[in-house]
Amino acid sequence: MTEPRWRLLLTALGSGYLALALWAAVHPASFETAIANFGPTNVHLLRDFGACAATFGIGLLLARNKPHWRPPVLAMAAVWNGLHAVSHIVHVTDAHPAIVGPAEAVALVGVTVLVAWLARASTATHPKERPHDLGK
């Protein structure tokens, strides 16, 4: 994959995670109503989700320009997204409205597959950056 394509994909993914994070943190009630209505409201938990999503969003954005950061950042994002998908699959019938559960489960599985594929693809690239340059 070309470097501009990597940067575009990581920017899109990182921005998506940050958008969800900001929404959950700034307006948890509308976030819950739209995509997280799985039971009684827990604003603290919604903001915790926002903090976690922000962490992955920032990591993905930082990895845009650090090719050696990509494999671990993408692998961890895939693990978290996959575990998040399992949670949504287990609770697929608890969402309101009912279509939200299956739609989110499918979306989360799809994003997990994409991020896992990108993690694998990032190990196959031959970046110009050397591992000892990570801190620069």
pTM for the structure as a whole = 0.85
What pLDDT shows up at residue 54? 97
Q: What is the pLDDT of residues 64-111, one digit of tens each?
A: 999 999 999 999 999 999 999 999 999 999 888 889 889 999 999 999
Residue 4: CA count within 13 A, CB half-sphere: 0
**Mean pLDDT of the region 19-42:** 91
Long-range contacts of 55-61 (CB under 8 A, 24+ apart): 56/14, 56/17, 56/80, 57/13, 57/14, 57/15, 57/16, 57/17, 57/18, 57/20, 57/21, 58/14, 58/18, 59/14, 60/10, 60/13, 60/14, 60/17, 61/10, 61/11, 61/14, 61/15, 61/18
> What is the pLDDT confidence band of residue 3, given thresholds at 50, 70 and 90?
very high
> What is the per-residue pLDDT for 39?
81
Give the model confidence (pLDDT) of 110-129 as tens digits. 999 999 999 999 998 655 55
Average pLDDT over the chain, rounded to an integer:
91
Where are the domains positioned within the chain?
3-124
**pLDDT top residue among 40 and 102:** 102
**pLDDT for residue 41:** 86
